[in-house]
C-alpha cells in the first residue's frame, strides 16, 4: 500500500497532520473535521511508510467506543501487530498488570467499581463506630477521590484534613483503612488506575525506563479533556521521545467538574517547545446554518484557540426555536417535531433529544410513549449496575481473584444458602485474625467445622460452585453459563420482587451474549472479559443502530452525531446551570456544552425552552437561556421573547446567585411539599417514568438546597416523594420526585 493511498481523500491540513514527524504536534480539530480519520491515517503512515514498529506506537482515547473505532480503522491499514490503542484507564490497567508486583498487587487484581467502593466505605465507616447517615459514604467517596486526583496519599490527606474539619479528619482515617483493605483484597479502584500508573512512572526507575523506551510515538485524542493525572501520565511517558501528537478542541472542553483542565491544551506549546500547530477547520458533518450558529456562540468565550470552521455543504434548514407554556407542552411540541422529521424520511436512529440534566427526560418519555415512538435513554441505570448482572459477575470475579472479599460477601448467599449476616460477621472476625481472605478462611476445615447447620452446608455448596466455575476460565461465555446453571440463579432472579422481574432473565442472557461476543473478538478468557467490562461507561452500551429515538444529556452526547437534534430546557438556571452564574469559567464551560449540543447535528436543530417549569414542588417562571440570544438572527426561526428582553438578570443584587425574579422567598419555602401537604393529580398532565432513576444512598444536587444524600423514596407514580439529607443544612427535606429536578451526581 502506497503513501499516496494513505493520504488519499485528505485535505491539505489533514495531510500536514499525518505527515509531520519532526517534533511534537498539536492538532486543533474542530467538531466534524475528520479528526479520527486523520489520527488513524497518521498511525498508518508511521507504520506503513516510515516503518515504525507498531508495538512502538501508543494511541490513547477517552472512551472505549472511540478506542474500538480507532482500532478498527487502523487495522484496515495495518494488521494488528502489538499496537496499543485504548483509554487512559485501560492503558494504565495494562501497564499495571505487567508491573503489578511493583505496586503491591498481583496480575489478577480486581478493579472495584463505584458500588464496590461505596459498600466498602460504608463497612469501614461502621467499623469506626461512625453513623453512615451523618458521615455519608458518598461524601467520603468524593473526598477520597479528590485526594487521589491530586496524588495525595493517606499520610498527606491526614495532614490536610487536620486543617479542615471533623468530617475530613474522619475521611482521612477511613481513607487509610480503605487503602489497606484494597491492598488486602488485591484490588484497585477506578481512580487508582491513573494514580498508580503515574506513580509507576514516577517512583520506579526500572519501570520508568522500560516504558519510556517502549513507545516512540504517542498520540492522545480529546486532549482538552485531560485532568492533572492524565497530563502527568503523558508528560512522564513522553520523556524519551519528541514524537508526541495530541488532538483536541478547546471549544469542546466540558468536563471541568470531574477535573479536566483546559489549560493542558491551551499551554501545549509551553509544555512541548517547538510544537507544530495544525488547525483542522474543514467541517464535513454539519450544514452551513448549524455551523454558523455554533461558531457565533462559541466566539463569546475567551479561553479558546481561534479557529473558523468552514463547510462546502448547503446552508440547510434554519434552526427552529420552540417555546412551550410549560414543560409538558415543551415536550409535546418537541415530540411533534420528531414526528415531522420521521415523516420526512429521517430514521429514528438518526434523531436525538438532549438535555442538561437527566430529570428533563421524564416529560419527554411520557410524550414519546403517548405518541408510540420507540426511544432509548442513554444514562439511565447502567446495564452492569443491575442486581442480577452484578451478582453473577461477583462469582466470576472471585474465580479470578480469590482475595476479593467484596465479591465474596455479595455472592456467598446468592441465591440464599443459609449464610446470613451473623455467619458473615463471625467469618470476617476469623479471617481478620488469621490475616487471610474470606474465601481462604472457609477453605480451612476448622473454620467450616466451627459453623453450624445450614451455614456449614451453604459454605460447602459455595465452594463446590466455585470449583465448577474454575473449569471454564478460558471462556467467559462458558464460565457465566456454568455459574448460572449450577447456582440456579436464573430461577432465583426471575422470582425476585420488583418492577424489573420480567427483564432479569433477559439481562442474564444479554450478559452471556456479551461474553460470547468478547470470546469471539479477543483471547483473554474470563480475566480479560472482566477487565473490559470494568472499564466500560454507560455510553459504551448505547445501541447505535437500533431504530429508536435517543434521549441523553449533552455530556453523554459528546463524540456522537445525528441527522436531527432537539435540545430542551434552554432556560437560565438550567442551561446554563445556576452553578455557573457566579463563576466566569463555569459559564464558559456551559457555553462549550451548548456548542457541543449544536455540533452534534448534521442537518436540523430544534432548540426549546419552557416559560414555566416545576423546578421544585411548585411551578415557577423561567427566563430563556442567554445562549439563544447569542445565536445569529439570520439562521433561526420561531421562538418567544429573548433572554435579554425579560426582566431577569444575573446581577449581584439577586438573592443567592439566582437570576432576579427566578425564585422568590415564598417559592423557596414552597419547596417542601410535605409541609404544605401537596398532592399532585395525575390528570394534571405529568407522566413519570415507570421506575425512579434514584436509589437510597445516591448523591444528588438540588438547585436551591445544594448537595445531599437520598434517604428514602416513598409512594409510587406521579405522587412519589423523595427524602434527601442536604449537607449544607444537615436537614432532611421531602420533595415531590416528579418535580424536584434533582440531578444525580457522579
Q: Which residues are catalytic?
A: 35-36, 221-222, 252, 600
Q: Annotate 693-719 with b (16+ C-beta within 10 A) or e (fewer).
A: bbeebbbbbbbbbebbbbbebeeeebb
H or E stretch including 58?
strand 57-61
159 vs 138, 142, 167, 497, CA distance in Å? 22, 18, 14, 48
Say how far apart CA 170 and CA 132 lie, in whole Å: 12
Q: How far apart are CA 495 and CA 504, in angstroms?
A: 9
Contact 409, 185 (CB under 8 A): no
In sequence order, which residues have a C-beta less than 8 Å from that of residue 517 and are 6 or more positions away? none
CA separation for the pair 26, 411 (Å, rounded): 49
Q: How many helices, marked H, and strands, marked E, lie in the chain? A: 32, 22
Match 455467619 to its residue by C-alpha cell.
423
Q: Are 392 and 505 in contact (CB under 8 A)?
A: no
Lookup result for grid cell 479528526: 35
CB 15 within 8 Å of CB 45: no
Nearest CA to 660 out of 560, 542, 572 is that of 572
User: How far is CA 172 from each of CA 119, 140, 155, 183, 437, rounded to the nearest angstrom?
Assistant: 17, 9, 8, 17, 24
Contact 87, 60 (CB under 8 A): yes
Q: Kindly give, in sequence order, each residue whose CB lies less than 8 Å from that of residue 744, ignoring residues fewer than 6 positions away.
A: 358, 693, 694, 698, 699, 700
E strand or H helix at 700: strand 699-702
Q: How far apart are CA 222 and CA 234, in angstroms?
A: 13
Measuring CA to CA, how many Å separate 194 from each of 337, 516, 584?
A: 44, 29, 29
2 φ, ψ to 5°?
-85, 160
Matching residue, cell 447505535:
544
Q: How far is CA 208 from CA 236, 388, 444, in A?
A: 8, 41, 41
- From CA 567, how far away is CA 127, in angstroms rounded? 47
How far is the C-alpha of 245 from the C-alpha of 14, rounded, in Å?
Answer: 13
Name the burial class of residue 26, with classes exposed (0-12), middle (13-18) and buried (19+) by CB atoms within 10 angstroms of its CB.
Answer: buried
Residues ≥6 apart with Cβ < 8 Å to 134: none
The C-alpha R_g of the chain, in whole angstroms, comes to 27
**Residue 578 corresponds to which cell in the numbers above?**
445556576
Dihedral sign computed on CA atoms, order 183, 236, 223, 149: positive
Total number of residues shown for the chain: 746
The 3-state DSSP class for residue 603 equals strand
Residue 613 backbone dihedrals phi, psi, to 5 degrees:
-145, 140
Amino acid at each position: 500500500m502506497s503513501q499516496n493511498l494513505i493520504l488519499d481523500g485528505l485535505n491539505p491540513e489533514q495531510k500536514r497532520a499525518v505527515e509531520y514527524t519532526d517534533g511534537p504536534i498539536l492538532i486543533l480539530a474542530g467538531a466534524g473535521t475528520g479528526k479520527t480519520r486523520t489520527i488513524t491515517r497518521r498511525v498508518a503512515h508511521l507504520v506503513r511508510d516510515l516503518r515504525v514498529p507498531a508495538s512502538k506506537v501508543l494511541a490513547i482515547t477517552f472512551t472505549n467506543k472511540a478506542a474500538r473505532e480507532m482500532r478498527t480503522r487502523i487495522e484496515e491499514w495495518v494488521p494488528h501487530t502489538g499496537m496499543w490503542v485504548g483509554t487512559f484507564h485501560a492503558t494504565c490497567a495494562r501497564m499495571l498488570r505487567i508491573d503489578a508486583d511493583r505496586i503491591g498487587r498481583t496480575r489478577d487484581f480486581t478493579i472495584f467499581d463505584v458500588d464496590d467502593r461505596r459498600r466498602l466505605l460504608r463497612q469501614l465507616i461502621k467499623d469506626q463506630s461512625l453513623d453512615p447517615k451523618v458521615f455519608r459514604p458518598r461524601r467520603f467517596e468524593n473526598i477520597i477521590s479528590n485526594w487521589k486526583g491530586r496524588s495525595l496519599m493517606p499520610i498527606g490527606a491526614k495532614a490536610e484534613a487536620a486543617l479542615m474539619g471533623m468530617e475530613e479528619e474522619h475521611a482521612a482515617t477511613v481513607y487509610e483503612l480503605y487503602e489497606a483493605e484494597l491492598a488486602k483484597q488485591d484490588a484497585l479502584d477506578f481512580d487508582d488506575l491513573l494514580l498508580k500508573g503515574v506513580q509507576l512512572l514516577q517512583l520506579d526507575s526500572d519501570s520508568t525506563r522500560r516504558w519510556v523506551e517502549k513507545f516512540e510515538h504517542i498520540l492522545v485524542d480529546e486532549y482538552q479533556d485531560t485532568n492533572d493525572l492524565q497530563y502527568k501520565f503523558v508528560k512522564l511517558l513522553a520523556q524519551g521521545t519528541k514524537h508526541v501528537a495530541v488532538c483536541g478542541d478547546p471549544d469542546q472542553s466540558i468536563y471541568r467538574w470531574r477535573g479536566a483542565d483546559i489549560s493542558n491544551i491551551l499551554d501545549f506549546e509551553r509544555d512541548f517547545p517547538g510544537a507544530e500547530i495544525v488547525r483542522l477547520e474543514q467541517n464535513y458533518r454539519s450544514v452551513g446554518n448549524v455551523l454558523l450558529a455554533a461558531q457565533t456562540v462559541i466566539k463569546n468565550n475567551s479561553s479558546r484557540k481561534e479557529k473558523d470552521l468552514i463547510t462546502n455543504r448547503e446552508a440547510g434548514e434554519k434552526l427552529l426555536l420552540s417555546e412551550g407554556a410549560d414543560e409538558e407542552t415543551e415536550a409535546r411540541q418537541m415530540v411533534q417535531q420528531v414526528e415531522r422529521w420521521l415523516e420526512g424520511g429521517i430514521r429514528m436512529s438518526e434523531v436525538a433529544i438532549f438535555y442538561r440534566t437527566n430529570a428533563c427526560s421524564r416529560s419527554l418519555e411520557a410524550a414519546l410513549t403517548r405518541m408510540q415512538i420507540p426511544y432509548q435513554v442513554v444514562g439511565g441505570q447502567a446495564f452492569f449496575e443491575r442486581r442480577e448482572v452484578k451478582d453473577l459477575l461477583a462469582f466470576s470475579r472471585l474465580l479470578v481473584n480469590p482475595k476479593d472479599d467484596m465479591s465474596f460477601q455479595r455472592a456467598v448467599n446468592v441465591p440464599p444458602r443459609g449464610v446470613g449476616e451473623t455467619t458473615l460477621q463471625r467469618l470476617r472476625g476469623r479471617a481478620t485474625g488469621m490475616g487471610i481472605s474470606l474465601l481462604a478462611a472457609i477453605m480451612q476445615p476448622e473454620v467450616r467445622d466451627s459453623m453450624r447447620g445450614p451455614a456449614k452446608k451453604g459454605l460447602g455448596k459455595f465452594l463446590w460452585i466455585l470449583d465448577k466455575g474454575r473449569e471454564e476460565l478460558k471462556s467467559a461465555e462458558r464460565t457465566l453459563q456454568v455459574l448460572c446453571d449450577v447456582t440456579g440463579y436464573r430461577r432465583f432472579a426471575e422470582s425476585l420482587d420488583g418492577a424489573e422481574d420480567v427483564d432479569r432473565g433477559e439481562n442474564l442472557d444479554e450478559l452471556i451474549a456479551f461474553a460470547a461476543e468478547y470470546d469471539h473478538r479477543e483471547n483473554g478468557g474470563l480475566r480479560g472479559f472482566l477487565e473490559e467490562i470494568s472499564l466500560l461507561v454507560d455510553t459504551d452500551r448505547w445501541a447505535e443502530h437500533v431504530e429508536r429515538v435517543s434521549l441523553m444529556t449533552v455530556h453523554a452526547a459528546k463524540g456522537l452525531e445525528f441527522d436531527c437534534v432537539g435540545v430542551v430546557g434552554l432556560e437560565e438556571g438550567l442551561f446554563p446551570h445556576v452553578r455557573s452564574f457566579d463563576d466566569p469559567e463555569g459559564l464558559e464551560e456551559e457555553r462549550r456544552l451548548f456548542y457541543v449540543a449544536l455540533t452534534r447535528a448534521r442537518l436540523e436543530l430544534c432548540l426549546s425552552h419552557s416559560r414555566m417549569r416545576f423546578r421544585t414542588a411548585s411551578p415557577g417562571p423561567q427566563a430563556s437561556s442567554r445562549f439563544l440570544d447569542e445565536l445569529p438572527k439570520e439562521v433561526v426561526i420561531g421562538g418567544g421573547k429573548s433572554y435579554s428582553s425579560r426582566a431577569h438578570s444575573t446581577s449581584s443584587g439577586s438573592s443567592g446567585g439566582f437570576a432576579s425574579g427566578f425564585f422568590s422567598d415564598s417559592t423557596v419555602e414552597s419547596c417542601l411539599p410535605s409541609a404544605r401537604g401537596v398532592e399532585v393529580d395525575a390528570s394534571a398532565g405529568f407522566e413519570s417514568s415507570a421506575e425512579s432513576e434514584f436509589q437510597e444512598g445516591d448523591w444528588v444536587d438540588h438547585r436551591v438546597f445544594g448537595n445531599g444524600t437520598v434517604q428514602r423514596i416513598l409512594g409510587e407514580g406521579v405522587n412519589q416523594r423523595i427524602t434527601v439529607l442536604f449537607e449544607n443544612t444537615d436537614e432532611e427535606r421531602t420533595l415531590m420526585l416528579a418535580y424536584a429536578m434533582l440531578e444525580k451526581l457522579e
